Amino acid sequence: MGSVRPAARHRTAVVAALMLAAFTFNTTENLPVGLLSLVADDLRVSITAVGVLVTGYGLTVAVVSLPLAHITRSVPRRHLLAGLLALLAVASWVSALGAVSYGLLLAARVATAVAQALFWAVMGPVAVGLFPPERRGRVIGLLSVGGSLATVLGVPAGTWLGGHSGWRVPFAVLGALAVVSLVAVAVLLPTSRPQENHSAYGAAPDRRRFAVVLATTALSVTGAFAGFTYVVAFLDDVSGFGTDAVSPVLLAFGAAGLAGVTVTGPLLDRYPRATLTVPVAGQAVALLGLYVGGGSQVVSVALLMLLGASVGPVFMATQSQVLHVAPGRTETALAANSAAFNAGVAAGALLGGALLPLVEVRGTFLVGGLLTVGAFVVLTWPVSTGRTWRAPAVDVRGPGAR
């Protein structure tokens, strides 16, 4: 028997709650970047140790995503999401109220990363399953807007609040936001078995195309972060921006990313191929352009905005395509894509750092651009029948379809 679809206002409220949860998770993940000195001084550790709170977070997500998705594949999503949001709230409050040592704060971060790893695997299928199959892309686009707001609003606001009230206060606020999402999901999301929903399986399973999407994610993200990890040094050494100008430039990058996700989301269902190939191409142009023309401040700002407008839509579009071509359960496939993303972040940062003494900061953007070109080649290379891939038809016969 198919799952019962809740009333329209309840579906909208659940999607809004999941958007808020995505915002909260992403802000929590990156907030230590803006609070490095405050946390280091308070806990009497090095800034490098505080940086581990971010890199270790991403590595945890990369490692545990697939195993957790497999282990929990039969757990009702209402119960699972409620548990994950409760863990986020508790870990945030431990960070805010109980983190009297670096070790305790690190443990809270690991717990949050574990929750986030599973959240990103199940959030998409849950939200998409509330609506007809032909609206999958638009729903994924809305969820991505929530996550992108963390860069533009969450981390800057958290950094400002931490600077005025102490670094623990932003974490307390994030815990409260997690509770808001938790209550909405616990009250409004129906309890059903995951496999009853049309979003539990790919609309047009294709192992080869799924492998292409994963490779695109890994290569493009590695390329982006090989350069962008060192963007502050690039703006200083290559573009000649002063310290006071860096924050506005990065805000422009984040705003462009939000705009890119907002514009691309509604197009995912109609143009699934273009909404991935165009951002990948845009990222390649931006990274290579920064290598060539980064000495001009105007060119640097324009190309960083192009980079921001490309990076967010790339991951959003790969998530949407995974829902189409997943060869098995979608939450497992999405977990694999999330793992590829987080592994790419770590690999890009490590690669850029290793090359920095050899090619200087400008060269890291060249390497990142070449990796992104590789992602574009993989994405557009003919697969299966020897023809370039076409958008799979949406199967409206899923058990959750009306």
| Cα–chain center distance at 45 | 28
Banded model confidence at residue 54, pLDDT cuts 50, 70, 90: confident
120, 121, 90, 123: which is closest to 108 by C-alpha? 90
CATH 1.20.1250.20 holds for 8-198: yes
Mean pLDDT of the 73-82 span: 91
Q: Is residue 279 a contact partner of residue 260, using CB atoms and an 8 Å limit?
A: yes
Decide if 8-198 and 201-380 have a common fold: yes
Residues ≥6 apart with Cβ < 8 Å to 365: 226, 227, 234, 287, 288, 290, 291, 294
Closest CA relative to residue 169, chosen from 38, 44, 46, 17: 38
CB-CB contact of 161 with 42 (8 Å): no
Q: Does the pLDDT of residue 63 top 70, yes or no?
A: yes
C-alpha–C-alpha distance, residues 211 and 217, integer Å: 10
* CATH no. for 201-380: 1.20.1250.20
Please give the pLDDT value at position 383: 63
Q: Is 309 left (phi over 0), alpha (psi -120 to 50) or beta?
A: alpha
175-185 average pLDDT score: 97
User: Per residue in 316-351, pLDDT tens?
Assistant: 999 999 988 999 888 899 999 999 998 998 899 889
**Alpha-carbon gap, residue 139 to 266, rounded angstroms:** 8
Where do the domains of the chain lie? 8-198, 201-380
Q: What is the mean pLDDT of residues 107-111?
A: 94
> What confidence tens digit (pLDDT) does each residue in 213-238 have?
999 999 999 999 999 888 888 998 99
User: Would you mind telling me the total number of residues written for the chain in this entry?
Assistant: 402
Name the pTM for this structure.
0.83
Residue carrying the six token digits 């990058």: 253
Angle at 351 between CA 347 and CA 355, to 5 degrees: 175
312 and 265 Cβ atoms separated by less than 8 Å: no
Distance CA 294, CA 177 (A): 39
